[in-house]
Structure 1
Amino acid sequence: MIQRFEKARKWLLIILFFAFLFTMLFYLTVSADIEVSKVEKRDLAQNPDLSIENVSSGEYMDQFEEYFLDQFPGRNVWLKSYLQYQQMTNKTYIFDFYVSDSNWIIPKPSYSRPSDKIKSAVHDLNKFASDMREEGKEVYYASLPHKVNTVDILPSYIKEGTGIQNKEYFLSEFDHEKIPLVDVGKEFKEEYTNDELKDFYFKTDHHWNIIGAYKGYKKVTELLAAKSDYYTEANENESDYELNCENDKQFIGSYNNQLYLTVDASDEETCHMLPTDQTFDNYKITWNGKDRTFKQVYGTGIFRDKNPIEFGDLYMNNTAEVTIENPAVEKESRVLILKDSYANPIAFHVAQHFSNTTVYDIRYNDDQTLTEYMKDKDFDVVLFLYNDTMLQGEPFRFS
C-alpha cells in the first residue's frame, strides 16, 4: 500500500511538472511578448531565433533562459509579492533600497572612491573651461544637491556613504579662477535643518521637488548676478511666482518604480512654480529642431491632465537639445546650459535672464562631441547644472 502511494506521488509530481512546463510554453507561444518593462525602464528579452547556428553554438539556450525569465507569466505580480514579503519581514534593504517608516526611499550607500576617474573628469572640465575662456566665453558650474547627499534618512547603524567625500574631492580639483562655482548642497546644509531639507525632495523619487529646485535656482542666479556680464535681472523675488499643486494625481517616483510601487506615495505633492507675468508663455521654443509652445514641453502631466505622472511630466523630460528665445531680454546674451535631469525643473527659469538659451544634454548626443557641436555656435556663457553625484563619465565627454 505504501509502495503504491509513493509510486502515485512520484507520477503526480512528474505529471504536474510537465503540465507546468507545457502551460508555460503554451503561454509563451500564444501570448504577445512584452517589449519594454516600464518598471525597470529597459527592453525585455524577445523570443530568440531558433536556428541551427544558434543551437549549435549554445547561444540559443542562454537567450531562451533570459527570454523565459523576462516573459514569465505574471512576472511583475510575482516580483511585487516578493517585495511585499521582504517589507513584512523588516529587511534593512529591499532591492538595495532602504524604506523608512514614513515611506522615504533612499538607495543603499555607495562606498566607492573612484578618485582616478573623478580626477580625469575634472581635468577635462578644466581644459574645456580654459579653451572657452580663451575664446572669450564665461564658464560657471553649479553643483546641485542630490537627495542622497543632502537628506539624512538612513538609521544611525548604517555607515554613511562616500558621496560627500567624492564631491569634495571633485570640487577640490577645480580651476576656480576659470570656473566660478556654487556648491548648492553645502549652502543648503549650512542654511537649513534636516527636517527643512526634507521639504525640498520627493520621498519616493531621486530628484528634488519644485521647492528645492527653486531654492537651488536662486543660488545659481546669485552666482550669475555677481559674476556674469550677460545676466539680466528678471522676477528676482519669490512673490513674482505662483506655486500650484496638483495633489489629486498619482506620483510615480523613480525609486518607488524600481520597487514595483509597493511604497505608499499618496502624500507626495506634485507642484510647479511659474512666474506670474507669464514670461514662459512668451518664449519661442525649439525642441530637437521642432517648434513648440511652453506648455508642450514643460509640465505636460499637469497641463494635459495626465494621471499618473512622473518627474518628467511635472517639469521637462530629458532630451538632446532645447533652444529658448526670450523676447523680454533686449540685450544679446546667449547661454549654453549643460545639464542632467536635476536641471529640468529650473532650465526655463534660468532662461528668463538671457535673450537666447540652449539646453544641451551630452548624454543624449552620442553622434557628436561637445566641441564639435559648439564649432558653429556663438555662446557667451556656458553654465553647468549637474547634480553632485555626477562626477565622472559621459557628461564630461567634451572632445
Structure 2
Amino acid sequence: MKRNILFLLMLAGCGWFVLGIPMRGQLEFSLIENRSLQKWPEFSLDAFAQGTYQEAIDSFLNDQLMYSEQIKAVVKKVQRLPADCLIQFNESQNAEAPNSEPDVERPKEAFEYIALGKGIYRYGDSGYLIYRPGETIDFTSYQRFADTMNPLIDQLNDIDFYAYFITTSSAIDFNAETPADRYFPFVSQHLHVKKIERFAVNDFDDYRKYFYKSDHHWNHVGSYMGYRNLLAMLKPEETPMNPLGEICFDELDFQGSSARLTAYFDIHETFCAYQMPEDSNITVMINGLEGSYGQEQEYFNHEYDAEKGASHYGSFYGGDNGEVLFINPEKEGNLLVLGNSFDNAVVKLLSHHYHEVRVIDWRYYEAETGQPFDLTETVRMMEADQVLFIGDNWFFKIDE
C-alpha cells in the first residue's frame, strides 16, 4: 500500500512537471542561459518524416518543464562549487586584520582568473566577471571569415567597406607581462576593408572604465565612445550628438549576461545610461514591420523589469534582430551594418546621421525573415554607400 502511494505521488510529481506547462504558459526567454526558448512546434508531415519535429518536441520539453530555470541554476551552482570554495578561501585570506592599516589598492596583476564555467571567470576580487583568451590561438576561423568576405568586398569595389573591432576581455590577457589584443592584428591584416579601427582596451584599467562588471557588453561610457569613433571614421564631417545627462537606476540590481550564464549573482552593479536627444522623424522597421527599437523612454519613466537577472542592456538599447532598418528623411547616405549585439547600443545614434541605416545580425536573419542573407543583393537593393562590420573578436570568425 505504501509503495502504491509513493508511486502515485512520484507519478503526480512527474506529471506536474509537464502538465503544469499549459497552466503556467510557455516561457519566452531563459535568463540563466541568455537565449530564447523553444515553443511548442507546429506539426507537419515533412518535419515529422525528417525527424525535426521530434527534435523540436525534445527541445520544448527541456526548455519548458516546470521549474526548469531553477533546476538549471542549481546545476550551475553545483558545477561551480570548486570555484566558490576558492573564492571564499581567497576572501578569507585577504580579509583585513583587526586594527591593521588599510592596504593600498591591490595591483591589477595580482588578480586571479577563477573559472566559473561557460568560459567565464571571476577576476579575483576586482568585482568583474570576464572571459579570457586561450594560451594558444587558432586563427583558422578568422581566416575563413576573411576568405568569405574579401571576394564580396572586392566585387563591390564601388562601395566603401569599414570595420570596427571591439577589444573585450576575450581578446586580451590582463595578467600578461605586456597585455595586448591578440586578435586585432590578424583581422586588420587579412580583411580587405577601406579602413579598420579598434575600440582600444589596453589593460584592465581601460576595461573597467568601458565595460560592465557582470555583463560582457560595453557600458554607456564605452558605447558612447564607440559611437563617436564610428562617426569620425564613417562621416567625419558630421557633429556627434552630446548626452543630455547621465541617469543611474539605483533601484536596479543589474545582473548581466555573464552572471546569468553562470548563475553567479554575487556581483552587484547599478545600470546607468546616457539620455540622448530623440528624433521623432526617424522610422524603425524590425524584420519588415514598423516598431520601436529599445526602451530608453520607458526606462527614463521608470517602467522596466526590476527582476533579478533581467537583460537591461538588450531591453534598454534594443535586442538582437535579424534586420532592423532606421529611416531618417532629414539626412543623406545609406549605411549597411553587419554586427552582433555590440552594435545594439550605437546603431540608433548613427541613424541620426544617415538617411538609412540597415542593421543585419546574420545569426538570426534567416530564421526571422525566412530567407538567407545575401550581402551583394542587400547592398544593391538599398543602394548602400558604406558597409560596416562591427563586433568583438567572436564576430570576425566563421566556425565550421
- TM-score by length of structure 2 reads 0.71
**Matching residue of 2:198:** 183
**Matching residue of 1:174:** 191
**Matching residue of 1:336:** 336
**Matching residue of 2:389:** 384
Judging changes above 3 Å, is the alpha-carbon distance between structure 1 residues 22 and 266 closer, same or farther for their aligned structure 2 residues?
A: same
Q: Deviations over 1:302-326 (max 9, x none)?
A: 1561123411112011112222233
| Matched position secondary structure for 1:168 | helix
Which of the two has higher C-alpha Rg? 1
Q: Deviations over 1:144-185 (max 9, x none)?
A: 223433583xxx5xx89x99434432222133xx42111223
Say whether 1:80 aligns with 2:73: yes
Name the CA distance, whole Å, in 1 between partners of 2:261 and 2:139.
29
Contact 2:211 2:217 in 1 (8 A): yes
| Matched position secondary structure for 2:268 | coil
| Matched position secondary structure for 2:21 | coil
Matches within 5 A, 1:1-399: 21-28=10-17, 30-32=19-21, 38=30, 39-40=32-33, 41=35, 43=37, 74-81=67-74, 83-84=76-77, 86=81, 88-90=84-86, 92-96=114-118, 97-99=120-122, 100-107=124-131, 109-110=133-134, 113-133=137-157, 136-149=158-171, 152=174, 164-175=181-192, 178-185=193-200, 188-189=201-202, 194-225=204-235, 232-235=237-240, 238=242, 241-260=244-263, 262-275=264-277, 278=278, 280-292=279-291, 297-299=294-296, 302-303=299-300, 305-308=303-306, 309-310=310-311, 311-329=313-331, 332-366=332-366, 367-368=371-372, 369-393=374-398
* Identity of matched residues, %: 17
Gaps of 5+ in 1: 1-10, 55-59, 226-230
**Matching residue of 2:105:** none
Q: Deviations over 1:68-97 (max 9, x none)?
A: 876776454454345556154227423343
Name the CA distance, whole Å, in 1 between partners of 2:232 and 2:240.
13
RMSD: 4.0
Which letter does structure 2 place at the counterpart of 1:105?
A: L
Paired residues in the alignment total 345
- Give how far 1:103 is off: 3.5
- Give how far 1:257 is off: 1.4
Name the CA distance, whole Å, in 1 between partners of 2:357 and 2:343.
13
Which letter does structure 2 place at the counterpart of 1:113?
A: I
Judging changes above 3 Å, is the alpha-carbon distance between structure 1 residues 46 and 328 closer, same or farther for their aligned structure 2 residues?
A: closer
- TM-score by length of structure 1 reads 0.71
Gaps of 5+ in 2: 49-53, 88-113
- Give how far 1:388 is off: 2.5
Contact 2:27 2:64 in 1 (8 A): no
